[in-house]
Amino acid sequence: MGGYVHFTDDQKYRANNVDLVDFLQRQNEKLLPSGSDKRLASDRSITVCGNRWYDHSAEEGGYAIEFVQNFYGLTFPEAVTMLLGGEKGVIYPPASQNKQESKQPFILPNPHGDMRRVYAYLVKTRFIDRGVVNYFARAKLLYESFEKSKDGTKEYHNAVFVGYDENGVPRHAHKRGLYTQGTGFKGNVDSCDPNYSFHYVGTSNRLYVFEAPVDLLSYITLHPQDWQNHSYVALCGVAQNAMLKMLELYPHLYHVVLCLDHDEAGIESSEKYQDQLSKKGISCDIEMSVHKDWNEDIKANHGLPAIPSEEHPQHLIRDKICKWLAEETMKEELNCNGDVLSTLLTKARSHMHWGRFSDVDDCLREICCLSLTAAVRAYQQTDDSMDVATVQARLRNGFKTYENRGHLKTRINLLESDIMSLRGIERVVSVSEKNSLAECYESIAAQSFKGMILLEKNKQKMEQSQEMKLSM
């Protein structure tokens, strides 16, 4: 959208009051239950309720307009227009204006007289080691609930995974349905404290982090040796609150192993959490199951069909582009500088304006190759070890999926900012200035690299959408 766009106070009010759950569902975003809220499957640290959102990892939140700006990488006018349904004036329903009910105190579900169904489900259906189930049951971290529907006509039995605070007081409970047919119920009990989800504290320095309690128990079943020495936590769909709380409460824990699901959302969250922990000075590794999750690995070990793992689409595209880069010869014949890169970027913007995305891709590839070559030359003036393969590996390994979710327009703007920065350091003299020049060229290569990945991702989405329409 070009030029100044004026919105009336009424328009801004209506946009900010759009129900985000309804809005996100219309954008085909997958939402997962999280108590009375919903969380995004693509970024499990974000929860939405009515017209409000909160990012538990960044500890910030707000209303609908700001959410759409941040999540979709849009300007304020673009976000308001999107929330109001565009020029046609289709308005998404507003969040309920009713006052929220007062928060009820946290109460554990009523226990059943025995745990027969829990053992049958976890041991016989999910193949978790009986000794592991025994241990958590004796520690009162696991029990079977007995609950009735509001009208009293139905009975429900769930496995309840309890989370205690540092004083031994229960603060969290995650329920898992015990029925083997269909998709089983799972969710947190109302008024849970997300800082104290299902966990176990050992004596070693290692903390293993999982998405769900069944994943945690499955991992222990697969890795039984000295398991009680280590610590474990299941996030239970509330981002990394409980993981951070354990690191705060238990100073002996300083090495985290992220064991989230082997799918798009799990990979994205793992990369995000690893970076956040590294910034705090905490050592962190990522360990992925062979199949979709650790319980699927157990099923495969028993010769049963298992849900396969799902690689992140952007990782697949990344590796394809990296292979192309490795085969591309260095551009010795062209002098790479700010003017050359600016000209290519201007062409890319023009092609993008007219919807010529294959031409945009050609421009970004040219920028990437030129800036990567220039970075290598600049590095080699101060460090002989920085060859093409090394810089290309840094480009690949430095790519993070959670950082590449916005629009191509946002990526182009960031690329322009880097090229502008280049102009101020092109005439360098000292060693430190040469290093800064090399880093700037490498950053330009990284931005164009991310743009190429976004282009290919959008292209694949469009092709999938066309295939779905043709098959209907």
pLDDT at 213 over 90: yes
Position 403 confidence tier, pLDDT thresholds 50, 70, 90: confident
333 compared with 324, residue with greater pLDDT:
324
pLDDT at 90 over 50: no
The rounded distance, in Å, linking the Cα atoms of 346 and 334 is 18
- Amino acid identity, position 297: D
- CA dihedral (313, 316, 321, 327) in degrees, to 10, reads -170
pLDDT at 410 over 90: no
pLDDT of 335: 76
Q: Give the rounded distance of the alpha carbon of 221 from its chain centre.
A: 27
Q: Are 236 and 216 in contact (CB under 8 A)?
A: no
Q: What is the mean pLDDT of residues 413-420?
A: 89
Mean pLDDT, rounded, of the chain: 87
From 384, 359, 386, select the one nearest 372 (Cα to Cα): 386
pLDDT of 330: 63
- Amino acid identity, position 279: K
Query: What is the percent of the chain where pLDDT is above 90?
Result: 54
> What φ, ψ does residue 92 adopt, rounded to 5°?
-75, 150
Position 104 confidence tier, pLDDT thresholds 50, 70, 90: confident
SS3 content of the chain, % helix, strand, coil (to 5): 50, 15, 35
The rounded distance, in Å, linking the Cα atoms of 50 and 43 is 18
Q: Hey, CA dihedral for 362, 366, 368, 369, is it positive or negative?
A: positive
The rounded distance, in Å, linking the Cα atoms of 431 and 191 is 58
pLDDT at 88 over 60: no
pLDDT of 433: 80
> What φ, ψ does residue 227 adopt, rounded to 5°?
-65, -30
CB burial of 101-122 (b: ≥16 within 10 Å; e: otherwise) equals eeeeeeeebeebeebebbbebb
Q: What is the mean pLDDT of residues 370-377?
A: 92
- Amino acid identity, position 58: A
pLDDT at 280 over 50: yes
Order of strands across the sheet that contains 52-55: 31-34, 37-40, 46-49, 52-55, 60-63
Would you say the pTM of this structure is higher than 0.75?
yes
